[in-house]
């Protein structure tokens, strides 16, 4: 799991030998125990710095969706706010005000009927935002069931099997039965008919993903909402939709303004996005918004004292850094609508061009082409079976590129893909360098008689595109 020590043959008690060039004490420090006494700050800095050199280069990391670059001005503001705690609304009223402004900006961006009525908050990321969205759905359903004198002990949540693992966690931690619609043939995400089929009176909501982590595709939110409208007409079941817009929530408003996926659809109760993905902030900030106060039951909201007044909060954490929220506000001010549109359009241009070039290489076939969120997945083409996507991933790693390879979930576990996430800062030039490296390794891979690597050899860096239950050991 996440608490992973890299234990070597010599056990985990092996001390860390400090380069004697410093000529400073101590020359040995324990690796897994608290050192006995203090040390010089420069020595401590150098030890930590040198260990971290072994981390991958963030800019060559094409696996993550999370921002790996920010403007120096944003970093300066973050530095200035590093000591501010988001929860201290009273002590840092202006940070609280900045958070409120961001919520209102997002409510407008997502077409809330009356943006002043929309409610929302910052979170540590989309995972926390998803927990809050899911909890609101569960609580609303429980209230309704109890009011009707019906049992409220078997809630379920309907979603595609392609949902990010945060939804699997939500279901597990908060005891909601997850109902996953499996993949089938060329259908790699949730579709209206399949969603409705799994709904019943115990369904607290349907999660629609705008930007699937598996292949970057948008789920058809409007069609899913329409199918649920129809279900309500036929059966009386009124099932709300939560949109997981972790990535797409900050892409679609700028690049696909006519796509109706947000609060324009009355059935959409809540939306989350990751400020640290296409919101362009460094990790960790996310946002959760509800269309109005009715969508967020008041008994989930806690009240803190704020300048003598009352400040409602809804969050899993208490203390949390304010720096990321401030950086989000900086980005909103700095870029404005047009700036975001240009950044996201550039990402889409790079993604679609890179996808097209990869398709032209021969051994690959595109699953998606980067024209929704700027993320695309590709597989080995029919008949290319002497090397695998896992071989390609390993070969690219030789030149520092982190391109994950993984298999799809039920019922397409036969399908293995590579995925590239194009983020701000991954330029046409870097894309060309990646292509050059890919062209360089292909002749060598082509000489193989059979794949050298399989899914078991893949690194665990698919970022949420992991296999769902039964829990696989490789999912961290």
209 part of the interface to ligand PLP, by CB under 6 A: yes
Residue least distant from ligand PLP (Cβ)? 125
Buried b (16+ CB within 10 A) or exposed e, 373-393: bbbbbbbbeeeeeebbbbbbb
**Three-class DSSP labels, 290-304:** ECCHHHCCHHHCEEE
Only segment of 51-59, 137-145, 208-216, 321-329 that touches ligand PLP (CB under 6 A): 208-216
Q: How far apart are CA 392 and CA 50, in angstroms?
A: 29
Shortest Cβ distance from residue 40 to ligand PLP (Å)?
A: 37
Q: How far apart are CA 239 and CA 202, in angstroms?
A: 10
Q: Give the x/- contact pattern for ligand PLP in 277-316, rule: CB under 6 A.
A: ---------x------------------------------
Shortest Cβ distance from residue 187 to ligand PLP (Å)?
A: 17
Name residue, tokens 């996926």.
261
Q: Which of 219, 244, 369, 466 binds ligand PLP (CB under 6 A)?
A: 244
Q: Give the x/- contact pattern for ligand PLP in 417-456, rule: CB under 6 A.
A: ----------------------------------------
Shortest CA distance to 123 belongs to which of 312, 273, 337, 308?
273
**Nearer Cβ to ligand PLP, position 156 or 274?**
274
Q: Give the x/- contact pattern for ligand PLP in 339-358, rule: CB under 6 A.
A: --------------------
Only segment of 168-176, 244-252, 287-295, 351-359 that touches ligand PLP (CB under 6 A): 244-252
246 part of the interface to ligand PLP, by CB under 6 A: yes
Q: Is the dihedral of CA 299, 152, 197, 229 positive or negative?
A: negative
Q: Which of 67, 95, 156, 164 binds ligand PLP (CB under 6 A)?
A: 164
Instruction: Tell me if residue 407 falls in helix, strand or coil.
Output: strand
Give the Cβ contact number of residue 19 at 10 Å: 12
**C-alpha dihedral over 400, 376, 70, 285, to 10 degrees?**
-120
64 part of the interface to ligand PLP, by CB under 6 A: no
**Token reading at 266:** 């009355």
Residues 350, 354, 359: CA angle, nearest 5 degrees: 155
Q: Which of 191, 203, 213, 324 binds ligand PLP (CB under 6 A)?
A: 213
Query: What are the E-state strand segments in 36-130?
Result: 119-123
Shortest Cβ distance from residue 454 to ligand PLP (Å)?
A: 26
Beta-sheet pairing, 286-290 with 268-274: antiparallel
Q: Give the x/- contact pattern for ligand PLP in 70-109, rule: CB under 6 A.
A: ----------------------------------------
State the residues that interact with ligand PLP by CB under 6 A.
65, 125-127, 130, 164, 166, 209, 211, 213, 244, 246-247, 274, 286, 464
């Amino acid at each position: 799991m996440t608490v992973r020590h890299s234990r070597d043959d010599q056990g985990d008690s092996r001390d860390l030998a400090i380069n004697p060039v410093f000529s400073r004490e101590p020359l040995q420090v324990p690796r897994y125990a608290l050192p006995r006494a203090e040390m010089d700050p420069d020595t401590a800095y150098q030890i930590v710095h040198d260990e971290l050199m072994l981390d991958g280069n963030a800019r060559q990391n094409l696996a993550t969706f999370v921002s790996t670059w920010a403007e120096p001005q944003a970093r300066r503001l973050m530095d200035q706010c590093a000591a501010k705690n988001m929860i201290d609304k009273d002590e840092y009223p202006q940070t609280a005000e900045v958070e409120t402004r961001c919520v209102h900006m997002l409510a407008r961006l997502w077409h809330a009927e009356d943006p002043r009525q929309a409610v929302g908050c910052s979170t540590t990321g989309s995972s926390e935002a998803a927990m809050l969205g899911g909890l609101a759905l569960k609580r609303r359903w429980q209230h309704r069931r109890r009011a009707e004198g019906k049992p409220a002990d078997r809630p379920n949540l309907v979603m595609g099997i392609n949902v990010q693992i945060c939804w699997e966690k939500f279901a597990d931690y908060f005891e909601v039965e997850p109902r996953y619609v499996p993949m089938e043939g060329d259908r790699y995400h949730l579709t209206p008919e399949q969603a409705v089929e799994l709904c019943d009176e115990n369904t607290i909501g349907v999660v629609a993903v705008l930007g699937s982590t598996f292949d970057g595709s948008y789920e058809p939110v409007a069609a899913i909402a329409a199918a649920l409208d129809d279900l309500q007409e036929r059966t009386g079941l009124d099932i709300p939709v939560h949109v997981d817009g972790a990535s797409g929530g900050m892409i679609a408003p700028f690049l696909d303004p006519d796509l109706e996926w947000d609060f324009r659809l009355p059935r959409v109760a809540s939306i989350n996005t990751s400020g640290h993905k296409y919101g362009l902030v460094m990790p960790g900030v996310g946002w959760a918004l509800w269309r109005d106060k009715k969508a967020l039951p008041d008994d989930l909201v806690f009240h803190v004292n704020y300048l003598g007044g009352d400040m409602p909060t809804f969050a899993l954490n208490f203390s949390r850094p304010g720096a990321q929220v401030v950086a989000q506000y900086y980005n909103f001010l700095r870029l404005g609508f047009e700036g975001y549109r240009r950044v996201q359009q550039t990402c889409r241009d790079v993604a679609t061009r890179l996808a097209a070039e990869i398709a032209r290489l021969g051994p690959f076939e595109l699953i998606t082409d980067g024209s929704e969120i700027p993320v695309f997945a590709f597989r080995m083409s029919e008949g290319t079976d002497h090397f695998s996507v896992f071989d390609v991933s390993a070969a690219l790693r030789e030149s520092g590129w982190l391109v994950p390879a993984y298999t799809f979930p039920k019922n397409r576990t036969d399908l293995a893909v590579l995925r590239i996430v194009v983020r701000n800062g991954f330029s046409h030039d870097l894309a060309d360098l990646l292509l050059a490296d890919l062209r360089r390794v292909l002749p060598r891979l082509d000489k193989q008689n059979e794949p050298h690597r399989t899914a078991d050899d893949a690194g665990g860096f698919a970022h949420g595109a992991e296999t769902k239950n039964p829990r696989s050991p490789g999912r961290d």
